[in-house]
Amino acid sequence: MTGAVDNTVNTLDVTMAVVVGGLFTIGFHLMLQRSLMRIVLGFILLGHGTNMLLLVAGGTPGRPPVLEGQPVNPAEPADPLPQAMALTSIVITFGLTAFLMALAYRSWRLSGSDEVRDDVEDRRIDIARQRAGADEVTGPGEENDDDLGEPDGDLGDDGLGEPDGGEGDAGEPDHRDDGTAPEEHR
Amino acid sequence: MLVLLAVYAAAAVSMPWWEKRLGRAMWFVAALVPLATVVWAGTRAARVLDGGAYQESLYWAPSLGLTVDLRLDALSLLMLWVVAGVGALVLLYCRYYVERDAGRLAALLLAFAGAMIGLVLADNLFVLYVFWELTTVASFLLIAGRGARAVQRRAARQALLVTAAGGLAMLLGFIVLGQEAGTYRVSAILADPPRGGAVPAAVVLVLVGAFAKSAQMPVHGWLPAAMVAPTPVSAFLHAAAMVKAGVYLVARLAPALAEVTPWRPMVLGVGLATMVVAAWRALRETDLKLLLAYGTVSELGLLTALLGAGTRTAALAGLVMLLAHAAFKSALFLSVGIVDHQTGTRDIRELSGLGRRLPVLFGVTALAAASMAGLPPLVGFLGKEAALDAFLHGTELARHYQLTVVLVCGSALTVAFAARFLHGAFGGRPSEKAARAVRSPEPGFVVPVAVLSAAGLVLGVAYPGTAALPTVYADAYPPGADGPYELSLWHGFTPVLGLSALSLVVGVLIHALLRRGAVPARLPRLPDVQRAYDRVIEGVDRLAVTLTRHTQVGSLPVYLTVLLATVVAVPGAALVAAAPSLGSPPLWRYSLEPVLAVVMLAAAATVVTARHRLTAILLTGAVGYGAAGLFLVRGAPDLALTQFLVETMTLVVVVLVLRRMPSRFDPGRTSVPGRVLRGAVAVGVGAVVTCFALAAASARTAPVISTGYLRRAAETGAYNVVDAIIVDFRALDTLGEISVVLVAAVGVGSLVRFRDRDAVRAVDEEPPARFPTTHWDEPRQTWLPGAGERPGGERSVLLEVATRLLFPSILVLSLFLLFSGHYRPGGGFSGGLVAGLAFVLRYLVGGQADLGAAVRLRPVAIAGTGLVIAAVVALAPLAVGGTPLDSDLVTWHLPLVGEVKWATSLFLDVGVYLLVVGVVLKLLSAVGVSLDRGGTAARNEEGSAR
């Protein structure tokens, strides 16, 4: 920590910029995948990148901003404000990472895989469209009043099922967990 | 007037209460309100008849130019009497008609009446619009009823959609009009009509709204559909009052805008076409209410044409017709209601001979129908005479002869459907079956019908009185070429009288012809707007589905790709376009930087290819430690310390969760192009971020603001400026931050503690004596109190000894970090994390039982205490007159120790410390203990069995 402090306003060097950019690249690449675990890892890497960007873009590096009681030349120590902010940011990243991890775990526990699946509701739009087509054939008369009245009311029982699984699909991993349950051993 | 509106609102709200108290007598209370309105309006009549007006304003938000302006003039007074008069009679009628849900109906009818009165009194375009839409909403609720039947819901929705869409067009027109005129006061616009370039557009928009409300062709479809509403509602809203709103608007604005180009062609063309076509449709209907509904559409067309024509005679005729129509049409509807109520049907084909069974009802209904047909000496005749005169002698109007011909045709058709109605409802020979079923209505049931019919007669005979109010309104126009037209039953043998007689004869002839041979079904069908409406609605539905399908695919990667591509495309393009100088940044500032950078990037890149979850998370940890190294190199030891600790903690938490998940990633199933696209987008974002960081850093011109912090750090008694910022200068940030972390930890706890039936059972059946803390008073045989819970094969004496020895030392270290944070790197966060890691160690070596032995408080209680301490410290200065989050330096002289100097902000750090410890314990108890429970419980059982 004895680097020369130069007084240019430019606080960034190329290495740091490349590190930040690299972390963003890899972080987003992981987040674009379907595995929840990879998304969490991508989030962690993005967090590192962002915290670092906050620090390096915000202030000049230098001696640690610990004053030892005597007045100093303000240009000498590193800028403490971005440090304080990055510190806050690190702690919050940690909290969010833990939360995301728990989400991933719960999703895995419920669905049996840690993949981000497509939204079932959105897939139902297709079904709704087919129904609209069917209506056209019968013609908008009195007989399909109820359909027109509640276009989304009947979609629940269209036989599509719920690929993401509700409580029903959760059974499999649960049994795996409790396979060693005492009752079953005796 | 404001009081009047308030009375309606209050009465409407209190109706359900009255219903409970009075039952059917409630309707008399309800009718009192409009009756009082009629009387009140009467007291105001004298000045209005002299051409004066009453005004009232409520300054609501004057700074925004929002005022509620009300004005009572001749036109408003006439409408007020119509609305309140018919309203009172309809409410009295409801006493006999309505069987259930009376409170709701009465409340809505009164609310509607209030809104309608507000509409006709409004002197501000926006106020008018608000009341306009309130009537629409009331109409929607009244048509839909409780929404039990699909046909009701559908009709209500159609009425709402059509009239509200028209209302929106009208609002747009109002705004254009108001901007052109420079004022939104109706009276001011009338006094000084705007003639700007945009006024024709405003006229078209306003008329579209008025036509939709008054059910003009081709947007009339909602009115016949609305006939599913109870008959009193049809009589009041869809005959007498609400549908008159559009006509009223035309009448209100015609004096100012009739000369604007598209006004006359629109009102005359649409109005008269509607009159003829709808009357034609009325001849085909067999349902009495539908017949009357098409009749209403037809009459409204006539009213629109007359009141919009913009001549004195036409205006006079229009208002007289409006009065006449309100009286006879509501009388006819109420009469149908009685027929329906007594016989259970209102189909012409099923009714016969009612005239002999119900002579009184037949008499009063015939009187009303005669007024509709325009027979002397009824008020309908007065209106028809005036209307014919207005067009026959209306030389101001282009092609007035052709208009007259159309009017005579329309009148003849009106006569025909009036005859058809009367004959269909009451004519014929009484059949045995029908005769037995009919009960005589109670006298009170018929009285409102009789009063309305009689009003037609009285208004006709006492024509000088009838003429008074309309004349005041019509005098806004210059008198015609032959001098001002006077309302009269007898003008001598004039061409107008001839035309009137002609229309009667032709009308009766049409009716006779139709009865004789041509059944209504053979009349040529006209294009059905209902089908068009259905198509439009269906099209909108389909468009919405298609749009949703293409924009909302439900795939997270797709959404993210779109977002990131946007980031690359938009700010990236801006960056390229601006081509900022990137400055001449050094390649690196410290020689360690590139080394760490290579390590970090290499580790991060390997994460992508890792197949095992554990490998991936360890590599991620390496990146984090690398980041900590960079922080240290760049002069941020606090940051580096926290990053090290946090990274370790993250590793622990993730690995603890990972225990329960499969060790390998699911194999990806993305196609090659998908992978290429993903990579390209990610690389693009990375490049943008790199360039952006360089450009932003080199573009910086503002001086560093933390110089002030450096200078004033001494005031806080701190050497470590970062810590001073965290606990003092920007302590509010810290408070927010620790709250976020606590919430996240609680969230983790509730997410992970996922209980299915089996898990609950397993937990419940755990013997209570096994609870680890109870082992505390048992003889200790191991180095760690809870370690005995683990099966022997998993225990390591070396680790247990080391942990036992290290645990207190680590706690002391954490306290040191906490207290020295003000002077050296450290502080509440680092201290709390170190202490947390000590507990992690206990948990990893000794298991949950040992953790339970080490801390016997609930984690959330610890964290909560920390938050409370922080909050109290933040607010305490208020108690001594300071500002929140203030800090003070305290110096103590202690014996032996010497001088002790500390800042009160230390307590904030203590709060942070406790909170972080609590959060770590909470996370451990969630991801560690909870996840562990099933397996450990099994092992416990095994252990005790042995």
The confidence score (pLDDT) of residue B149 equals 85
Domain count across chain B: 2
Q: Do A178 and B758 touch (CB under 8 A)?
A: yes
Residue A19 has pLDDT above 80, yes or no: yes
DSSP label of B589: S
| DSSP string covering A6-67 | ---S----HHHHHHHHHHHHHHHHHHTSSBHHHHHHHHHHHHHHHHHHHHHHHS---B-SB-
Query: Is position B588 within any domain?
Result: no
pLDDT tens column, B457-503: 998 888 888 888 888 888 888 887 777 788 888 887 888 888 988 99
Name the pLDDT band for B48 (thresholds 50, 70, 90).
Answer: confident
Strand B889-894 relative to strand B66-72: parallel, antiparallel, unpaired?
A: unpaired
Contacts of residue B585 in chain A, CB cutoff 8 Å? 10, 12-14, 17
Of A36-40, B796-800, B915-919, least confident by mean pLDDT is B796-800
Per the CB < 8 A criterion, the answer to whether B231 and B164 are in contact is: no
What does the angle CA B525 – CA B528 – CA B531 come to, to the nearest 5 degrees? 140
Q: Are residues A147 and A106 in the same domain?
A: no
The confidence score (pLDDT) of residue A103 equals 86
The confidence score (pLDDT) of residue B206 equals 93
Under 8 Å CB pairs connecting chains A and B tally to 393
Q: Do B751 and A103 touch (CB under 8 A)?
A: yes
Nearest CA in chain B to A110: B754
From the list B554, B601, B919, the residue facing A122 with the nearest CB is: B554
Contacts of residue A149 in chain B, CB cutoff 8 Å? 150, 153-154, 157
Query: Is position B683 within any domain?
Result: no
Strand B66-72 relative to strand B898-903: parallel, antiparallel, unpaired?
A: unpaired
Q: What is the mean pLDDT of residues B841-862?
A: 82
Could you tell me the CA-to-CA distances from B183 to B2, B65, B69 in Å, in that order?
22, 10, 12
Could you tell me the CA-to-CA distances from B813 to B238, B820, B821, B833, B919 in Å, in that order?
83, 10, 12, 11, 19
Average of per-residue pLDDT values in chain B: 84
The confidence score (pLDDT) of residue B760 equals 40
Nearest CA in chain A to B618: A41
Question: CB within 8 A of B736, min separation 6: which ones?
Answer: none
Contacts of residue A181 in chain B, CB cutoff 8 Å? 758, 762, 934, 937-938
Q: How far apart are CA B854 and CA B859, in angstroms?
A: 12
Q: Do A121 and B633 touch (CB under 8 A)?
A: no
Q: How far apart are CA A84 and CA A134, in angstroms?
A: 62
Instruction: Name residue, tokens 């399908």.
Output: B549
Query: Is position B344 within any domain?
Result: yes
pLDDT tens column, B583-626: 778 888 888 889 999 999 999 999 988 888 889 999 999 999 99
Q: Does A155 touch chain B (CB under 8 A)?
A: no
Tokens standing for B868? 């409370």
Q: Do B554 and A66 touch (CB under 8 A)?
A: no
Q: Do B685 and A24 touch (CB under 8 A)?
A: yes
Name the pLDDT band for B791 (thresholds 50, 70, 90).
Answer: low
Q: How far apart are CA B137 and CA B477, in angstroms?
A: 35
The beta strands (E) that lie in B291-435 are given as none
CA A43 to chain CA centroid, nearest Å? 6
End position of a domain, from candidates B501, B529, B557 = B529
HEC readout, A93-143: HHHHHHHHHHHHHHHHHHHCCCECCCCHHHHHHHHHHHHHHHHHHHCCCHH
In this structure, what CATH number is given to the domain that contains residue A42? 1.10.287
Among residues B298, B509, B474, which one has the least CA distance to residue B390?
B474
Q: How far apart are CA B156 and CA B169, in angstroms?
A: 20
Q: How far apart are CA B912 and CA B918, in angstroms?
A: 10
Per the CB < 8 A criterion, the answer to whether B687 and B695 are in contact is: no
Q: Are residues A105 and A21 in the same domain?
A: yes
One-letter identity of residue B404:
T
Q: Print the domain residue range for B844.
A: 718-946
The confidence score (pLDDT) of residue B942 equals 44
Query: Is position A92 within any domain?
Result: yes
Q: Does A107 touch chain B (CB under 8 A)?
A: no
Q: Are residues A35 and A59 in the same domain?
A: yes
Q: Are residues A43 and A81 in the same domain?
A: yes
Q: How far apart are CA B923 and CA B654, in angstroms?
A: 10
Residue B946 has pLDDT above 50, yes or no: no
Query: CA B259, B260, B263, B268 torsion: positive or negative?
Result: positive
The confidence score (pLDDT) of residue B488 equals 81
The beta strands (E) that lie in B389-485 are given as none
pLDDT tens column, B749-781: 888 775 544 444 444 444 444 444 444 444 445
Domain count across chain A: 2
Q: Are residues A100 and A141 in the same domain?
A: no
Query: Is position A86 within any domain?
Result: yes
Q: Does A178 touch chain B (CB under 8 A)?
A: yes
CA B860 to chain CA centroid, nearest Å? 39
Tokens standing for B43? 């007291």
Residue B523 has pLDDT above 80, yes or no: no
Q: How far apart are CA A158 and CA A147, in angstroms?
A: 13
Helix axes B263-282, B400-426, angle to 10 degrees: 30
Q: How far apart are CA B374 and CA B415, in angstroms?
A: 8
Query: Is position A3 within any domain?
Result: no
Q: Do B758 and A11 touch (CB under 8 A)?
A: no
Buried b (16+ CB within 10 A) or exposed e, B227-239: bbbbbbbbbbbbb
From the list B653, B690, B706, the residue facing A80 with the nearest CB is: B706
Q: Which of B562, B639, B701 to mutate to test the interface with A (most CBs of A within 10 A)?
A: B639
Q: What is the mean pLDDT of residues B71-84?
A: 92
Q: At B72, which helix (H) or strand (E)?
A: strand B66-72
Among residues B706, B678, B714, which one has the least CA distance to residue B564?
B678
Q: At B210, which helix (H) or strand (E)?
A: helix B199-213
Q: Are residues A127 and A102 in the same domain?
A: no
Per the CB < 8 A criterion, the answer to whether B363 and B448 are in contact is: no
Q: Does A24 touch chain B (CB under 8 A)?
A: yes
Q: Do B643 and A83 touch (CB under 8 A)?
A: no
Q: Which of B683, B729, B730, B751 to mutate to test the interface with A (most CBs of A within 10 A)?
A: B751
Q: Which of B607, B619, B941 to mutate to test the interface with A (most CBs of A within 10 A)?
A: B607
What does the angle CA A93 – CA A99 – CA A101 come to, to the nearest 5 degrees? 100
End position of a domain, from candidates A111, A138, A171 = A111
The confidence score (pLDDT) of residue A147 equals 37
* Burial (Cβ within 10 Å: 0-12, 13-18, ≥19) of residue B222: buried
Question: CB within 8 A of A174, min separation 6: which ones?
Answer: A109, B756, B758, B759
Nearest CA in chain A to B734: A88
DSSP label of B56: E
Tokens standing for B439? 């009960």
Contacts of residue B150 in chain A, CB cutoff 8 Å? 145-146, 148-149
Query: Is position B827 within any domain?
Result: yes
Residue B629 has pLDDT above 90, yes or no: yes
Among residues B65, B70, B78, which one has the least CA distance to residue B3?
B70
pLDDT tens column, B1-11: 888 889 998 98
End position of a domain, from candidates A111, A136, A171 = A111
HEC readout, B869-909: HHHHHHHHHHHCCCCCCCCCEEEEEECCCEEEEEECCHHHH
Q: Do A95 and B564 touch (CB under 8 A)?
A: no
Q: Do A38 and B665 touch (CB under 8 A)?
A: yes
Query: Is position B25 within any domain?
Result: no
The confidence score (pLDDT) of residue B550 equals 81
Backbone angles phi, psi at B355, to 5 degrees: -55, -40
Query: CA B82, B83, B85, B89 torsion: positive or negative?
Result: positive
Contacts of residue B642 in chain A, CB cutoff 8 Å? 87, 90-91
Binding-face residues of A in 115-154 toward B, CB within 8 A: 115-116, 118-123, 125-126, 128-129, 132, 135-136, 140, 142, 145-146, 148-149, 151
- Alpha carbon of B342: minimum distance to chain A alpha carbons (Å): 28
Query: Is position A9 within any domain?
Result: no
Q: Does A160 touch chain B (CB under 8 A)?
A: no
Contacts of residue B535 in chain A, CB cutoff 8 Å? 140
Query: Is position B871 within any domain?
Result: yes
Tokens standing for A32? 């674009």
Query: Is position B404 within any domain?
Result: yes
Q: How far apart are CA B48 and CA B78, in angstroms?
A: 10
Count Cα atoms within 13 angstroms, Cβ side, for B255.
21
| DSSP string covering B145-199 | TTS-SHHHHHHHHHHHHHHHHHHHHHHHHHHHHHHHHT--BHHHHHHS----TTH
Q: How far apart are CA B458 and CA B380, in angstroms?
A: 11
Q: Do A174 and B636 touch (CB under 8 A)?
A: no
Q: How far apart are CA B13 and CA B2, in angstroms?
A: 17
- Alpha carbon of B797: minimum distance to chain A alpha carbons (Å): 27
Q: Are residues A127 and A99 in the same domain?
A: no
Residue B717 has pLDDT above 70, yes or no: yes
- Alpha carbon of B917: minimum distance to chain A alpha carbons (Å): 13
Query: Is position B21 within any domain?
Result: no
Per the CB < 8 A criterion, the answer to whether B384 and B411 are in contact is: yes
- Alpha carbon of A18: minimum distance to chain B alpha carbons (Å): 6
Residue A134 has pLDDT above 60, yes or no: no
B54 three-state secondary structure: strand
Contacts of residue B697 in chain A, CB cutoff 8 Å? 10-12, 56-57
Q: Are residues A51 and A91 in the same domain?
A: yes
Per the CB < 8 A criterion, the answer to whether B789 and B848 are in contact is: yes
From the list A49, A74, A167, the residue facing B707 with the nearest CB is: A74
Instruction: Name residue, tokens 């016989």.
Output: B343
Q: Which of B151, B606, B722 to mutate to test the interface with A (most CBs of A within 10 A)?
A: B722
Query: Is position A176 within any domain?
Result: yes
Instruction: Tell me the longest C-alpha to C-alpha distance in chain A.
Output: 89
Residue B346 has pLDDT above 50, yes or no: yes
Residue A169 has pLDDT above 50, yes or no: no
End position of a domain, from candidates B504, B529, B554 = B529
Contacts of residue A137 in chain B, CB cutoff 8 Å? none
Q: Print the domain residue range for A105.
A: 14-66+76-111
Q: Are residues A94 and A159 in the same domain?
A: no
Q: Are residues A48 and A100 in the same domain?
A: yes
Q: Do A95 and B601 touch (CB under 8 A)?
A: no
Q: Which of B588, B608, B633, B820 to mutate to test the interface with A (most CBs of A within 10 A)?
A: B608
Q: Do A66 and B719 touch (CB under 8 A)?
A: yes
End position of a domain, from candidates B477, B507, B529 = B529
Q: Are residues A44 and A133 in the same domain?
A: no
Q: Are residues A101 and A153 in the same domain?
A: no
Q: Which of B560, B641, B689 to mutate to test the interface with A (most CBs of A within 10 A)?
A: B689
Q: Which residues pair with B59 in a beta bridge?
A: B67
pLDDT tens column, B110-151: 999 999 999 999 999 999 999 999 999 999 999 988 878 888
Contacts of residue A175 in chain B, CB cutoff 8 Å? 758
Per the CB < 8 A criterion, the answer to whether B373 and B504 are in contact is: yes
